[in-house]
Structure 1
């Protein structure tokens, strides 16, 4: 009789659950959405109870639609949106809405962290202080809601809170903890030095475990509500990007992933714990034991294309828009686009920079602009590839997932701009599949994540770089890299008119 694992992906807009067989086939999937609260400009919050109710409803729907016996599920694990701050009291009650990864209220707190810690921040946490991270959020609460922080017994990250509600056991794992700025990333423990520097008790931090460690079983009440068996083993899981990497098979040295969704991510597996990338990209713990990943982020990747279509080609299907761009040669007729429409992250952590079209003339039509947007997004991701190359890493193959993997034009463009073979997967479930793989490994189906990946993940097609297009894109990429510096001062001056 078939046995299953379940992967739960707790996103910003919805939770997705997948039921996966021992052969890696997604037998059923379900999802539930929940609201986002933005009470002030720059604020982004959610009610953690909405995550719990959404997860319970999605699991109930998944089990009901699959029609499986409750004891056929061998394990459940999680992927979750990173950085979000959940504060709970000694009884586990939530004290305020969660402050999310895309909340930007904490610029002053980031500057305070930098001034207080100086170079120790990169030495210990291995990442720059950015508004999205958890420590700046804790400091904001400390400054603006001090009485509330005094009531707090623990902080949790989003998926960890949902798992706590399902099991009653408190835990965090390294891949998500790495995004707090409170973790000694290579030492794999909470940093007493960082916590003490800001008068934060280390007791706020939950116990640390590996991503594939069991963290309890399903509570009787939650078993009744979901239709699953009481005591179903639950495993810690990982941050969404770590689980996305696992779900794409990025599990050994030299493997690299490009994920193009609303934002864009270039992520590469790394084993060199003392590698110093000087904060030019993120350096986080992987879901694989004693491994890491380097990650660069383009804030507005797919979002740039969505914005462009809504603004200049409203109602036109993406497929039609991209089909027209296929008739335009690489270089878009001398037109360059920079996708800085909401600021940028890698290699320029700059919230004030804005996008540009450079080189417009009367010969350019809609297809030229569409292709220029695709090329600009891909050039931005190439800057993260360059950071990987600068560490001595060879990038000869890139697994492409997300919206950028749904277009033949864009897949070939990635191969040409990255000068690397680009691989499209047969079936792509992203972080949810990575979470299911952690459960499959945790419950003993496989002796390693790599052996699980060999069964669960299958390449569908390879895109080989064209020598002619590579040469052309190398020249255009050199020009693209100049645009940021050429327009930085102009954008500062224009910000007065926004």
Structure 2
């Protein structure tokens, strides 16, 4: 029996076909091979076309089918992971009314701040576990205020994964997990948030049908099955945001377990059984994939917008002609601390852990007689590791103190230097797994379809491939210098 996982990312879409019995990947594909564009019509804006995501998924599935390593007719269930917080609007025919306002778009910060004040800080945090901030609800309010002609044509709103599921099946659904990531869910009343919906003046009719994460969200239509070379009627049995899904893929499901990822954005994601929140909303709490009213599982999420996005910029600016692997090897030739060169990896929209400020990315302390490209490459990785440490310290303030962090060996964690720097700067050992979001989505589909008796059975064959302990190097002076530079930069932005 085969399971199909689709992961709609910011830079590309990845698809994997997994053998349900062994959890082994039988085919995988990524499309496009180069990074997909983000439209920035104004500073701080970020948009992508939902139809671009669909085309990417179609192409990646076609590449997998073309591998001839499996029979496409043997696929039994489909799971979807997706970039979180993106706003998709469709009309009654299911057509996207505008490009999606995606996760790193900052236009709605002020709108969310005003909502936080109007609803009341304590009530927002205790009921929503977050400020409305720059999340999906505030993005929808921006459309309502600035594009009323589009807003008035909305049939349904959805998140990126909901759109892909709709394209596959024709059905539109959402979950408590997705509602919470959009800041539409009240954890106290265990229902849609009247506070948010009434303050912004939304009509509940525009929200999709609510279903559990692990359940049937529709069946593959005849027309799409023919287009994709798959069997009609395959159920979509799992949908989740990329970070809850990354945690699932690493078997991070129970309180105290923690996952990390370092793709376009960087995330530390820990599971709690408490309705916890940060008073400044610098880290955010959402319903995890296995959240139930009678067995609460919350994902406490630290997000750094500028991780892989910084490294991509470094590659295009300083690493022309180099592969990422070559960049990583060259970075390792520079000394620990990069001879004083420091990089602040913030230049991809408002950073929630910095109270939604936009300090921009900075390269500091350049010595023209000393520093080389290798120093820049290493400083980028160390700067990203420092940002993770800064965010983890905020999580520690809120009671999250991991003894180990699990991560997939992908993106920046492909770099031995970065993986070691992450362990050194955070002071926490790292377990690396040969896994990714599309594999997690496929396994999620198996859980949702009842292929596995329980989630434990789904991960019987998934083991860590590497364990990295902190090296014992004295990292603290380098981190404190980095932190001081960040604080000075934030003061200048006030």
Partner of 1:59: 61
How many Å separate the matches in 1 of 2:427 and 2:271? 19
Shift of 1:339: 1.8
Partner of 1:448: 454
Q: 1:238 to 1:186 in 2, by over 3 A?
A: farther
Q: 1:187 to 1:383 in 2, by over 3 A?
A: farther
Partner of 1:297: 303
Question: Is 2:206 the partner of 1:199?
Answer: no
How many Å separate the matches in 2 of 1:360 and 1:37? 31
Equivalent of residue 257 in structure 1, options 219, 235, 259? 259
Shift of 1:481: 2.2
- Matched-pair contact (CA < 8 Å) for 1:245–1:431: no
Question: Is 2:490 the partner of 1:488?
Answer: yes
What TM-score does the superposition give when structure 2 sets the normalisation length?
A: 0.89
Partner of 2:464: 459
Equivalent of residue 336 in structure 1, options 342, 351, 367? 342
Partner of 2:384: 377
SS in 2 for 1:314: coil
Q: Structure 2 unaligned runs (5+)? A: none
- Matched-pair contact (CA < 8 Å) for 2:106–2:349: no
SS in 2 for 1:122: helix
For residues 368-406 of structure 1, the C-alpha deviation after alignment (integer angstroms, 9 at most, x for no partner) is 343322211101101222123223333121123332221
Partner of 1:149: 151
Q: What RMSD, in angstroms, separates the aligned Cα atoms of the two structures?
A: 2.6
SS in 2 for 1:330: coil
Partner of 2:419: 411
Q: 1:366 to 1:451 in 2, by over 3 A?
A: same
Shift of 1:419: 1.4
Question: Is 2:23 the partner of 1:20?
Answer: no
Partner of 2:179: 177
- Matched-pair contact (CA < 8 Å) for 2:6–2:79: yes
Q: 1:327 to 1:64 in 2, by over 3 A?
A: closer
SS in 1 for 2:98: coil
For residues 215-260 of structure 1, the C-alpha deviation after alignment (integer angstroms, 9 at most, x for no partner) is 2211222222222222112113100111111112222222222211
Number of residues of Structure 1 aligned to a counterpart in Structure 2? 483
Q: 1:412 to 1:203 in 2, by over 3 A?
A: same
What TM-score does the superposition give when structure 1 sets the normalisation length?
A: 0.88
How many Å separate the matches in 1 of 2:118 and 2:361? 33
Equivalent of residue 438 in structure 1, options 441, 444, 452? 444
Q: 1:87 to 1:72 in 2, by over 3 A?
A: same
Q: How do residues 13-412 of structure 1 correspond to structure 2 at under 5 angstroms?
A: 13-22=11-20, 23-33=22-32, 36-66=38-68, 68-119=70-121, 120-131=123-134, 133-185=135-187, 187-274=189-276, 276=278, 278-290=280-292, 291-342=297-348, 345-361=351-367, 362-401=369-408, 402-412=410-420
Q: 1:69 to 1:369 in 2, by over 3 A?
A: closer
Q: 1:43 to 1:344 in 2, by over 3 A?
A: closer
Partner of 2:428: 420
How many Å separate the matches in 2 of 1:209 and 1:289? 12
For residues 116-155 of structure 1, the C-alpha deviation after alignment (integer angstroms, 9 at most, x for no partner) is 2231332332223443x21122112211222332232321
Partner of 1:495: none
- Matched-pair contact (CA < 8 Å) for 2:156–2:208: yes
How many Å separate the matches in 1 of 2:439 and 2:326? 30
- Matched-pair contact (CA < 8 Å) for 1:300–1:339: yes
How many Å separate the matches in 2 of 1:276 and 1:106? 20
Q: 1:334 to 1:313 in 2, by over 3 A?
A: same
Equivalent of residue 476 in structure 2, options 469, 474, 491? 474
Question: Is 2:29 the partner of 1:4?
Answer: no
Shift of 1:444: 1.9
SS in 1 for 2:484: helix
Q: 1:305 to 1:166 in 2, by over 3 A?
A: closer
How many Å separate the matches in 1 of 2:312 and 2:141? 34
For residues 438-457 of structure 1, the C-alpha deviation after alignment (integer angstroms, 9 at most, x for no partner) is 111112222222331232x2
Which deviates more, 403-412 or 94-103?
Answer: 94-103
SS in 1 for 2:475: helix
Q: 1:308 to 1:186 in 2, by over 3 A?
A: farther
Q: 1:56 to 1:474 in 2, by over 3 A?
A: same
For residues 409-451 of structure 1, the C-alpha deviation after alignment (integer angstroms, 9 at most, x for no partner) is 22222221121211222x22x2111111111111222222233
